[in-house]
Structures are given as structure tokens and as C-alpha cells.
Amino acid sequence: MASVYPRTLGGFTLLLLALAATITPGGGQALITPLDSPLLATKYRGFREVMFNFIGQTGNNKNKFLINLKKGKVQKQFGPEEPFFCNTTGMRSETVPTSVDRLRPGDIDIIGAIGDSLTAGNGAMATNILEVLIENKGLSWSIGGQGTWRQFLTLPNILKEYNPKLYGYPTKDGLSTRKASLFNAAEGGAMSQDIPYQARNLVKRMLSDRKVDINNHWKMITLMIGGNDFCAEICYMATPEKILQYHEKNIVSALRTFRDYLPRTFVNLAASPKVDILARFKNKPQECVSMHVIECPCLLATRFRKQRERFVKLIEDWNMLQMDIAAREEFHRKPDFAVVYQPFTMNLTFPETASGDTDFTYMSLDCFHLSQKGYALASNALWNNMLEPVGGKSMNWEREFTLFRCPSAEMPFLRTPGNS
């Protein structure tokens, strides 16, 4: 019976994903996920609640943690006596800065994020394929705050070393509609077209939270989107290149929302993941081959193989467009607002084993989402980018904890175009 259970879960998940992929395109931007169909939105959200409750939480489950630790899918665990990598003394300004160019890590009071399932933290502690559907929001690389950096390296867990009063991060699993998600407004299955709404939703949450002093607290928001657009949208569009036009409109709209409603805000616009790397994974487990065709048909299904080069170029053009948008003057006119492009996934490669195979301990069970160790690696890379000057940022990531940059007495500030 033990061998039947995972197979049943896998088949059920494949059925769910196949159902999600059957939503047909509409006018303008393609409508291909249940979240994008007005007729199915309410029922789908209800279904997600049922599935979340049925599967159960995994991020805070000690048994799931131990299983993943044994499999090497959890980061190195640090003891309480081991010091943080950086000297945090003096890294919160004595006087609250008025310029984003003088912002130190400890000055960040509020943290938030928008995006898709990678930002939602899907699969971080999954021990079977069905559990990949669970959003381990407390373990999300850019917004999770479960535990400390010693157990789970995340951007909030790094920033908490500089400002223990940091607020906005979730500490446990949960759908974005639940209060426990706090300022993680990311949705599994989200695409570029969902980002303007997520931005408005996040602003609304911050404005209505009594713990947030909108005018005086410094806020950090991380935005990453694109994986689902590349994997499940472009191949269904009559003219795939139009996706760049749509994406520009969506990202600019979201950034303007942050600029106009959130004073004292630093936005990390993270490069979209180059999901074509999935096709280059070495010695891929068979279950991942099946999942990849369902989760990323545009780049991995046989029927779209002839267009793969065209789609890969679109991913590159998409990231160059985002870099251009982040540098636009309209997002740098206000002294207390900045959008900084963080390109750590632009030339993405995955760690390999001693035998030269892809190291799948960084991946969740579908080999699409990340394990906790994979999310820790992403956190490390984002943090390094934040301390690297604009124009000199790394475009790949090292194994977690191999390179961990620190602010210095000479340059204690988060890097912006104005201080680079």
C-alpha cells in the first residue's frame, strides 16, 4: 500500500494541473489559469481552501522538516552560539533617513512581496507531490519569517538581525487570502496580468494595518513574476511577442501604485527566472519529466519544441525590459522611493553533484519549485544583489553561504542608482 499512495497523489496532482491548463485564452492577454477566469474564480478559491485544509500544513511540521533534512533539502543548521555573518552594529540609522540613497538594512521597518508560487513558497517542505500545492509562506525566500536565519535563511530573517521589530512577514503556511499571510500578497499561478491587482491589494493591506506608519516607516517590497507567463501563456498567444507590451503595462502600473501610495519605499524588482533551464537539467527524475510537461508546456512539451528558441529569446527580452523599467526616471524622482533591479537569476545555473548531475536537493518534488535549501539559496543571492552597486550586480547565484555580502562602515547603505 505504501507504494500506491504516492502514485495516487501524483496522479491526482497531474489531473489538477491538467485541468488548470485547459482554460482557453481570451482576448488581449491570455486567460489560462483558474484565477484568471471570472466564472471560476470564486469556486477555484474555495477549492484551494478545501485542498489546503485537506493536505494540511507542512512548513511548521517537524516530521516534514526531519524528512527533508535527511534528504539534504534543508539548509545547513546553525547553532545558537554561531554568530551572524555580518557586524550589525550601526546598521540602523540614529535618525530616520529621508533619502532612499541613505537607507541602511536596519532602517527597514515593513516588508512585503508580490508574485507567483515561488514567492508564495510552494513546495519548500513537500514530502509528496500533492504537498507542492501548499504555500509555505513562512519559508518564502523574499518574505518568509519563520524561525531565524539559523534554521531558514530568508530576506526577513536576515533583516531581523538588523531590526528585530521588522513587521509584515508571515511565519506559517497559508493562502494569500488569510490574515496570517500579512504582506505576502503573492498567489500561486499568478502571471504578469495579476501584478497590478496584487500591488493594489498589498497597498490596501498596509494602509489598513494599525502597526504600519505609512508616512514614517521605511518599507521594502520584492516583486518577481514571469515563470507562469513563460511556461503556460506565450505558446497559446497568436503573437507571443505581444507579451512584452502587456508586461510593460502591468509592471509600470504596479510600480506606480507603490510610488504614489507608499512613501519611503525600496522596491526590489527581481529578474524573472529563466525557466528554460528546466530543459537543461541533467539526469532528471522521471516524475519530474512528467510534471515539467504539465507545469511548463511552452518550453518542454514536444509540440512547441520548434518555437523554443523564440520563447527563450522572449525571456531574455522580458528581463531586459524590466531592467529598463527599473531605471526609468519616473521611479527615481522622489527622494524617498526607488526601484532597483536585482538580476541574480538572469544567467541562472543550478548547482551540480560531484558526478555532474543537477543537484535536485535544491528542488521540490516537482523539480520546478524549490526546496527550503533552494529558497535559502535565492535569499542569499537577493541579499548579495541588494549590497552590490547598480551596474555591478551579480547575475548568477553561488551555493548558499558561500558568498554572503555585508554592509560596511564605508558603504552601509542598500545600493541604489543614487549611491552606486
CATH code: domain of residue 167: 3.40.50.1110
Written as nine digits, the cell of 236 is: 497559446
pLDDT band per the 50, 70, 90 thresholds, residue 48: confident
Q: How many CB atoms lie within 10 A of CB 83?
A: 9
For residue 395, tell me if it sits in a domain.
no
Strands 265-270, 108-115: parallel, antiparallel or unpaired by DSSP? Answer: unpaired
Buried b / exposed e along 122-133 (16+ C-beta atoms within 10 A): bbbbbbbbbbbb
Domain ranges, residue 213: 35-79+109-387
311 within domain boundaries:
yes
Say whether pLDDT at 162 is over 50: yes
Residues 239, 27: contact at Cβ < 8 Å? no
> Distances from the Cα of 283 to the Cαs of 14, 73, 278, 352, 367, in angstroms?
21, 18, 11, 11, 12
User: Does the annotation count 369 as an active-site position?
Assistant: yes
- As a whole number, mean pLDDT of residues 239-266 equals 98
CA–CA separation, 383 and 406 (whole Å) = 9
Question: Is residue 415 domain-resident?
Answer: no
Give the pLDDT of residue 286.
86
| Amino acid 348: pLDDT | 86
Strand 108-115: give its sheet, edge to edge.
108-115, 218-224, 265-270, 337-342
CA–CA separation, 415 vs 139, rounded Å?
A: 25
Dist CA 249 CA 17 (whole Å): 28
Three cell numbers at 150?
A: 539559523
DSSP designation for 87 = -
Query: For this structure, is 217 an active site residue?
Result: no
Q: How many residues does the chain have?
A: 420
Cα separation of 98 and 102, whole Å?
8
Q: CA-CA distance, 190 to 34, in Å (whole number)?
A: 10
Q: Which residue would you say has higher pLDDT here, 361 or 35? A: 361
Selecting among 173, 194, 229, 366, the annotated active-site residue is 229
* Dist. CA 21–CA 293, nearest whole Å: 11
What pLDDT, on a 0 to 100 scale, did the predictor assign at position 6?
Answer: 40
Q: pLDDT band for position 42 (50/70/90)?
A: low
As a dihedral over the C-alpha atoms of residue 42, residue 23, residue 294, residue 129, rounded to 10 degrees, the angle is 20
Q: What is the mean pLDDT of residues 393-418?
A: 95
Q: What is the mean pLDDT of residues 153-166?
A: 98
DSSP state of 109: E
Compute the mean pLDDT over every residue in the chain, rounded to the nearest whole number.
90
Question: Is pLDDT at 31 greater than 50 in this prediction?
Answer: no
On the question of pLDDT at 312 being above 90, the answer is: yes
Residue 280 domain-assigned? Answer: yes
* Grid-cell match 511552452, residue found: 298
Q: Which one from 192, 369, 371, 379 is the annotated catalytic residue?
A: 369
**Confidence label for 43 from pLDDT (cuts 50, 70 and 90):** low
Tell me what pLDDT residue 169 has: 98
Q: Is residue 403 part of a domain?
A: no
List the single range of 44-58, 281-295, 380-394 with lowest mean pLDDT: 44-58
Q: pLDDT tens digits for 337-351? A: 999 999 999 988 889
Domain assignment present for 404: no
Residue with cell 562602515: 409
87-91, 147-151, 284-288: which range is least confident on average? 284-288
Task: Evaluate if residue 13 carries a pLDDT over 90.
Answer: no
Element holding 337 (H helix, E strand): strand 337-342
- Residue 155 in contact with residue 164, Cβ under 8 Å? no
**Top-confidence range, 45-49, 143-147, 275-279, 304-308:** 143-147
User: 19-23, 94-98, 169-173 — which is least confidently predicted?
Assistant: 19-23
Q: What is the pLDDT of residue 34?
A: 46
Rounded Cα–Cα distance for residues 74 and 352 (Å): 16
3-state secondary structure of 244: helix
Give the separation between CA 122 and CA 361, rounded to whole angstroms. 15
The secondary structure of the chain in percent helix, strand, coil, rounded to multiples of 5, reads 45, 10, 45
Phi, psi (deg, nearest 5) at residue 208: -95, 0
Collapsing DSSP states into helix, strand and coil, what is residue 266? strand
Q: What is the mean pLDDT of residues 96-118?
A: 97
pLDDT (0 to 100) of residue 76: 97
Q: Is the pLDDT reported for residue 258 higher than 80?
A: yes
Beta carbons of 177 and 171 less than 8 angstroms apart: no
CB 79: neighbour CB atoms within 10 A?
6
Q: Which residue has the cell 489559469?
A: 33
Rounded to whole angstroms, how far apart are CA atoms 84 and 324? 35
What is the rounded distance in angstroms from the CA atom of residue 163 to the CA atom of residue 107?
7
The C-alpha atoms of residue 402 and residue 419 are separated, in whole angstroms, by 26
**How many separate domains does the chain show?**
1
pLDDT for position 50: 78
| pLDDT score of 180 | 86
Choosing from 109, 116, 117, 332, the catalytic residue is: 117
Neighbour tally for 286: CB within 10 Å: 7
- Distance (Å, whole) CA 214 – CA 27: 38
Percent of the chain residues past pLDDT 70, beyond the cut? 89
DSSP state of 134: S
Report yes or no on 283 lying in a domain.
yes
Residue 66 lies in a domain: yes
